[in-house]
Chains A and B, each alone.
Chain A
Amino acid sequence: MKKGIVLKLLVPFLAVVFLVGFSTAAVAKTIKVGGLKDTTGATSDVGKDAALGQAEFWQYYVNDHGGINGKKVKYIWFDYGYRIPEALTKYKLLKRMGVLAIMGWGTGDTEALSPTVNKDKLPYVSDSYSAHLTRPVDWVDKDGKKHIGTGYNLFFSSDYSTNARACLTAWYDNKWKKNPAYGKRKARLACCYMFPSPYASAPIAAIKNHAKTLGMDVGPDQDVSLFALDTKSQIMALQKFKPDVIWHGNTTMSVSATLRDCYALGLKANHIVNNWGYDENLPRLAGAAMKAADGLSVMGATPCAFYGQKTDMMDEVVKYAKKYNPGVPQEKRLNRTVQGWCNGLVLWEAMKRADKAGDLTRVGIMKKGFETMRNFHIGLGAGDVTYLPTDHRAATGCWVQEYKNGKFIKVQFVDIKKRWPKQWASEWFGW
């Protein structure tokens, strides 16, 4: 009888304990996403803010909004200091930790990792928007050179080459056509960028090709280090060519130094800047070169909105930045945070789609996630994105904005695919 009572009480008790235990285990299933960021290296002037934004998005926003259809996400990120060997080491660690996807960073390491990533079939969403990463299937260029497909490389933005073409087009339409010399002579383009930098040099062939398409002359390239504070010799070298427009391919600090010297030396040219050189810090660092009444005209590629600029989702970006990094002053937050969110939003959507399809795996995220997206709306001022199994150019153009009277103002949305559909389809693809 005694044994009976104990059993009657013990069995239901243990059953409850086990049920609670197992259900907790089921709920506790987490999905791992990795991150490789530069918060200390050669691109940390833009990398730190991007890293903060992505951490706010993955660690907090995603989990506050249901994770991956109810599954929690653990975001594990490392600072690799823009050192390629370090990126390779950390990539191996993240892979070993079982991440389903990685939020990558720079062009050098992303391109160096690309063959490995594609062999491992591990979705790699980078902040490098190099056009070299947009062609998923093996291809041969017009010179007969073979290129390996980059099927697991992705990003939300228009690529650097499309950005460059968009900037030059916007300058041509909005500045050059109003120039008294228009129709009388060819416009002149010069490029300032760090020659050995994979990021800075990635779109140079494209912008020169585009200058020819628009009937422009191209002057001598100027090698400007990412660390440059003094670029007078490069600017003086350009004075003979008299460029009408200068393309800046570096990140913010050296672009600001080049603008300062152009202004100081009186080089009469307009300026167009790739996205990683064009942020809220640029006018602060360039000073009078951009802010004075006779300051330079500086336009740039903006694949998404500036931090705090009015657009859908921006309230969330600002809210999470304030909440999770209260020690970072708001005036230090940049459009890099927004870029980080945009890349996060496309991966999150891909993961949810793959999960819904019952295939939340690395391959599933690509095939049943990314490659099912057609004009997916991200918000945050970014273009709607499409990923095809044969074409990972997510966006076909971008907003070009200009700094005027203390503000960034939208000049033109240039859709390269719409304007040059034939070249977009096959010719301007992968470089």
Chain B
Amino acid sequence: MKKKLVLMTVLLFGVGVVLTSCVTVKPTETNFKAPAITLESFEVPQYDGYWYYGSKTKPAKGKAGNHGAPLPMNFLFNIENPNKYPILLESIKFTVAFDKEFDVVTVNSQDTIWIPAGKTTQVRASTLITVRSGLLSLLVTGGYKLKARGWSPWKALERWWTGVTDYTLPVTVHEGAFVFKADGVTKVLPFAATFK
């Protein structure tokens, strides 16, 4: 009876030691090191050329409207967690600019991803614009910049849609905010990079 009690105590103590060893460092504001973020790659997962037709053009099927070629874009980020505890990537937000100064879309991802201690995780953020959305965005936010370059909106759009697949177009990610959490401690990192 006594022997069994001793054995049980030793066993519980052992389990306790193992469990305690799993929780090595508690995250705090001071020991939360900033993860390292890099833009690994940019890709157009499906290319459909450059085209646009207005609402006066009768389509073969469906309804008429102002429609342009889609341009899906994938951005692959490496996120290295230098901490001794796992961290949660809570959200990503960034703006995509073509030719360095023309914002075409702001991407907002709220997918949550755990990054293990000391490991690097790859995170893919996807978005899609069309010639139509690019035109509207360009006209309302880029009008004066286009004028300064002496470009028409159509010249810019054609340059972008044809230049993006052969990587002659500078694609910039800027105004980025990566939000990380660890046990109630939050760290927000700005991010900017150009994929050439």
Contacts and interface: CB of A to CB of B under 8 A. Distances in A.
B110 A40 contact: no
Contacts, number: 87
A52 B176 CA distance: 12
A397 B164 CA distance: 49
B140 interface: yes
B192 interface: yes
A44 B104 CA distance: 10
Among A79, A251, A257, which residue has the most Cβ atoms of chain B within 10 A? A79
B180 to A, nearest CB: 12
Contact of B8 (A5, A51, A79): A5
Among B129, B140, B143, B175, which residue has the most Cβ atoms of chain A within 10 A? B140
B120 interface: no
Nearest to B135: A227
A43 B141 CA distance: 9
Given A9-B8, A40-B129, A326 B190 contact: yes
Contact of B140 (A1, A44, A52, A325): A44
Contact of B144 (A55, A78, A229): A229
B19 interface: no
A59 B5 CA distance: 52
Nearest to A43: B140
Contacts of A51: 106
A327 B136 contact: no
B5 A5 contact: yes
Interface in A26-45: 39-45
B147 interface: yes
Q: How large is the interface on A (under 10, 10 to 19, 20 to 34, 35 or more residues)?
A: 35 or more
Nearest to A83: B133
B147 A81 contact: no
Contact of A326 (B1, B106, B139, B188): B188
B143 A227 contact: yes
B91 A229 contact: no
Nearest to A287: B144
B177 A326 contact: yes
Nearest to A228: B143
B108 to A, nearest CB: 7
Interface string A205-248: 00000000000000000000011010000000000000000000
Contacts of A327: 94, 174-177, 190-192
A367 interface: no
A324 B8 contact: no
A79 B143 CA distance: 21
B10 interface: no
Interface in A250-289: 251, 253, 257, 285
A77 interface: yes
Contacts of B165: none
A159 B133 CA distance: 28
- Majority SS at the chain B contact face: strand
Contact of A285 (B105, B144, B190, B191): B144
Contacts of A45: 140-141
A42 B136 contact: yes
Interface residues of B, number: 35
Contacts of A16: none
A76 B111 CA distance: 11
A82 B110 contact: no
A392 interface: no
A40 B98 CA distance: 13
B93 interface: yes
Contacts of A43: 140
B140 A251 contact: yes
B1 A1 contact: yes
Contacts of A39: 105-106, 108
Contacts of B108: 39, 55, 77-79
B113 interface: no
A19 interface: no
B189 interface: yes
B91 A325 contact: no
Interface string B156-195: 0000000000000000001111010000000011111000
A78 B190 CA distance: 21
A5 to B, nearest CB: 6
A327 B179 CA distance: 12
B55 to A, nearest CB: 12
Contacts of A121: none
B137 interface: yes
A328 interface: yes
Nearest to B174: A327
B112 to A, nearest CB: 10
A41 B175 CA distance: 18
5 contacts: A45-B140, A253-B141, A253-B144, A326-B188, A328-B175
Given A40-B105, A324-B177, 13 more contacts: A5-B8, A9-B12, A41-B137, A42-B140, A44-B137, A48-B106, A51-B106, A78-B108, A79-B108, A81-B136, A227-B139, A326-B190, A328-B175
**Closest 10 pairs between A and B when the two form their complex, measured CB to CB:** A327-B190, A227-B139, A39-B106, A326-B190, A327-B175, A42-B136, A229-B143, A328-B175, A40-B105, A45-B140
